[in-house]
Amino acid sequence: MTERRTWLLTTPIYYVNDVPHVGHAYTTIAADTLTRARRLQGKDAFLLTGTDEHGQNIERIAREKGVPTQQYCDQIAAVFRQLWDRLDIRYDRFIRTTEDVHVRGVLKLWGGLIEAKCPDGRDAIYKGTYAGWYCPRCEAFKDEEELKQPGNLCSIHERPCEWTEEENFFFRLSAYEGWLREAIGKGSGPGGLRIDPAARRNEVLGIIDQGLKDFSVSRARVKWGIPVPQRPDHVLYVWFDALSNYITALGYADDGAQYEKYWASDGAERFHLIGKDILRFHCLYWPALLQAAGVPPPNREFVQGWITREGRKLSKTTGNVIDPQALVDRYGPDPVRYFLLREGTYGQDWDFTDQAFVGRYNSDLANDLGNLVSRALTMVQRYRDGKVPPRGARFDVVEPANVLASYEALDFAGALSQVWAAVTKLNQRIVTHAPWEMAKDPHQSARLDALLYDLLEGVRLISILVQPVMPRAAGRIARMLGLPERDPGPGDLEWGRLEPGSPLAAIEPLFPRIEKAANAAAKEKTVPDSSTPPPPATEAASPPMPDRIDIADFAKIELRAAIVTAAEKVEGSKKLVKLQVDLGTEKRQVVAGIAESYAPETLVGKKVVIVANLKPAKLMGVESNGMVLAASVDGKAVLCTFDADVPPGARVK
Ligand code: MSP
């Protein structure tokens, strides 16, 4: 395997025929995340994106809107850039195919091709006549059998294709079958082209096995494009124009320094992220064109999956599009980035649902991560005066190298699930070690220091590892930890970077729960319901209150089976009944509010469930040592019992 020293990653350049949709955001967020993960490791990474602005389709849309074509392109390109800004996409270069440096680069590549010879010695470019069905939206010719009948419709756009006959320049793709097969077969080896996932690689090899057809690289009837110098009444095929962006953006026209560094050099990874719709162009046409022109071809491509809704393709006609701007308006950039990368497996199709979005937001972000951060920091504020405590022994919750390896493999869901396993472990540690109990005992002070330091370091490491996906949240956690907000680097991945004694900053809520915000107005007017968590307690020894409990929280409640041995009404009360219960190892008196539903004598012999570790209390002056579980149905108590025999004292969990 060739050692890589520079890391170029590209997104497809998006058509400006419409404003960006969630599929565009998906690819761009994935690319930004991988690039950030690489920068985090100190790698020389470069992210390239942009807009594809030529072609018949765009020319037509601008005409329909009554706007000059260039002006129309300017408007839509600006919307793409603005969305990327809103989504915190940190690209190094935004290329537009109407830029002069692009046009010059395309013409330079064309100049090389027109002179080029194929492996079999024939000219790589030749003149021929093309007759076939053309879909102006795909900007591609279609085979007769691909069309939907009646009406010769494009199977993707469901619009009529046009019968087109013209004299074109052709590229002799057929002469590159052997070379392509070999390069793809070599994968990540020298001179190879690695295509992932494997199913897509096999798909490309399958296409080659069926035989590759030469394709035309000029168009007679299109005006909005780059004229062919040898035939100024033709423009270069929009896909030839568009694919060239990957090198023109780097300064190929002038042999620029970035082109040398990120594309031409031996140690350059030239990596394209693409959708499955554009596989043929990127995995066959583009490598072969470059090989013919004597320019290094890409060496890595990853084909992402499709976002669907109710299993259907997103389309304006169906009305099921997902507007990325609206998502950012509502939730902010981090949750959108997180959800898109966490919910599906990158490389496979997956279905977007609003419920899943809200569910993940509330459980993963508001509850798991948000609570961990606020609990850890609150405890340091309360028990250590807001200063980082002394370091203790290290408790490993996550292996940064494994998370980074998952990012590098485009396994975003895998990277995030490793980080969330760490979040869960730390939340569990808080429950099992009960720092609020330790805080009451001066002898436990050193243990509490160690635990709190480790929690803070855990939070810090988690924020660094999640930074490629949620750069804003990572910055806010850094700020709360009293650290400068800057781009993290390799040194930040080491445990123990927090300086004991340094002050934390104010705690800010990270991810407020969604339904609370939505219901806030309504709730203000109603009485607080029991599902609303109480406000944080102020006394020193109480734990910060999470919205949901961990299994370890639940385990603190000791539920046991018990047999009622005697029962009588509590005098002066309509509701209360005094029970004597047998817990196997001990007998107890428990008072229960079930007298209106059960006559005392019917209770004797019943097997019930008792909360055995409840602090004793007096009800109407009668001592109660535990609590009986019952449901309340229309104000009537229904006792919780067993559907098979269990010995008294059996633990219920
Ligand atoms: N302009 C060409 C690409 C030229 S690259 C040299 C183009 N543009 S596009 O605007 O149609 O964007 C296509 C890309 O957007 C897909 O390859 C894919 O990355 C992304 N997606 C568009 N819709 C998508 C989904 N519904 N789901 C996931 N990604 C999708 O083709």
98-102 mean pLDDT: 98
| Residue 73 bears catalytic tag | no
- Ligand 1 centroid to Cα of residue 232, in Å, is 30
* 3 state SS of 610: strand
- Helix or strand holding residue 473 (H, E): helix 471-480
Chain-wide mean pLDDT for the chain?
Answer: 91
| Ligand 1 pocket list (CB less than 6 A) | 12-15, 23-24, 26-27, 52, 242-243, 245, 274-275, 277-278, 304, 306-307, 314
Residue 536 has pLDDT above 50, yes or no: no
| Residue 283 bears catalytic tag | no
Nearest CA to ligand 1 atom 18: 275
Residue 385 has pLDDT above 60, yes or no: yes
Residue 553 has pLDDT above 90, yes or no: no
Residue 279 has pLDDT above 90, yes or no: yes
| Residue 154 bears catalytic tag | yes
Residue 224 has pLDDT above 90, yes or no: yes
pLDDT for residue 522: 35
pLDDT for residue 5: 96
Atom of ligand 1 nearest to the CA of 281: 6
Between 597 and 633, the more confident residue is 597
Nearest CA to ligand 1 atom 22: 23
Among 73, 118, 135, 283, the one annotated catalytic: 135
Atom of ligand 1 nearest to the CA of 246: 6
Model confidence at 26, in pLDDT bands (50, 70, 90)? very high
525-539 mean pLDDT: 30
- Strand segments, DSSP code E, in 487-585 are 559-569, 577-582
pLDDT for residue 558: 85
pLDDT for residue 598: 87
Instruction: Return the half-sphere exposure (C-beta side, CA atoms, 13 A cut-off) of residue 314.
Output: 19
Per-residue pLDDT tens over the stretch 454-467? 999 999 999 999 99
502-516 mean pLDDT: 90
φ, ψ at 341 (rounded to 5°): -85, -20
Residue 546 has pLDDT above 70, yes or no: no
- Ligand 1 centroid to Cα of residue 327, in Å, is 19
Residue 406 has pLDDT above 50, yes or no: yes
427-439 mean pLDDT: 96
Among 73, 154, 161, 283, the one annotated catalytic: 154
Nearest-angstrom CA–CA distance, 201 and 302: 9
pLDDT for residue 541: 40
26, 96, 224: residue to mutate for ligand 1 pocket, most atoms within 8 A of CB: 26
Residue 542 has pLDDT above 60, yes or no: no
- Ligand 1 centroid to Cα of residue 352, in Å, is 17
- Ligand 1 centroid to Cα of residue 14, in Å, is 6
Specify the range with the lowest mean pLDDT, choosing from 141-150, 211-220, 531-540. Answer: 531-540
- Ligand 1 centroid to Cα of residue 97, in Å, is 16
- Tell me the C-alpha to C-alpha distance, in Å, between residue 117 and each of 127, 167, 171: 14, 21, 11
52, 73, 244, 322: residue to mutate for ligand 1 pocket, most atoms within 8 A of CB: 52
Residue 221 has pLDDT above 80, yes or no: no
Specify the range with the lowest mean pLDDT, choosing from 76-80, 192-196, 214-218, 395-399. Answer: 395-399
What are the residues whose beta carbons fall under 8 Å from the beta carbon of 574, sequence distance 6 or more?
595, 596
* 3 state SS of 359: helix
9, 10, 11, 15: residue to mutate for ligand 1 pocket, most atoms within 8 A of CB: 15
Which DSSP string corresponds to 572-595?
A: T-SS-EEEEEE-SS-EEEEEES-T
Among 148, 157, 433, 523, the one annotated catalytic: 157
Residue 580 has pLDDT above 90, yes or no: yes
pLDDT for residue 100: 98
Between 452 and 526, the more confident residue is 452
pLDDT for residue 552: 64
Per-residue pLDDT tens over the stretch 323-356? 999 999 999 999 999 999 999 999 999 999 999 9
Tell me the pairing of strands 268-275 and 300-304: parallel
Model confidence at 477, in pLDDT bands (50, 70, 90)? very high
pLDDT for residue 635: 67
368-397 mean pLDDT: 95
14, 53, 307: residue to mutate for ligand 1 pocket, most atoms within 8 A of CB: 14
Residue 276 has pLDDT above 50, yes or no: yes
Per-residue pLDDT tens over the stretch 143-185? 888 899 999 999 888 899 999 888 999 999 999 999 999 999 9
| Residue 443 bears catalytic tag | no
Nearest-angstrom CA–CA distance, 204 and 28: 23
Model confidence at 596, in pLDDT bands (50, 70, 90)? confident
The model's pTM is: 0.79
Model confidence at 198, in pLDDT bands (50, 70, 90)? very high
| Residue 24 bears catalytic tag | yes
- Helical ranges in 529-641 per DSSP H: 551-555, 600-603
CA angle 486, 405, 452 (to 5 degrees): 55
- Ligand 1 centroid to Cα of residue 21, in Å, is 9
Residue 540 has pLDDT above 60, yes or no: no
Nearest CA to ligand 1 atom 9: 14
Among 54, 108, 118, 138, the one annotated catalytic: 138
Q: Under a CB-based contact definition with an 8 Å cutoff, are residues 589 and 580 in contact? A: yes
pLDDT for residue 2: 66
Q: CA gyration radius for the chain?
A: 33
Per-residue pLDDT tens over the stretch 484-504? 989 999 999 999 999 999 999
pLDDT for residue 516: 47
- Ligand 1 centroid to Cα of residue 609, in Å, is 58
pLDDT for residue 562: 92
Burial 377-395 (b: 16+ CB within 10 A, else e): bbbbebbbebebbebbeeb
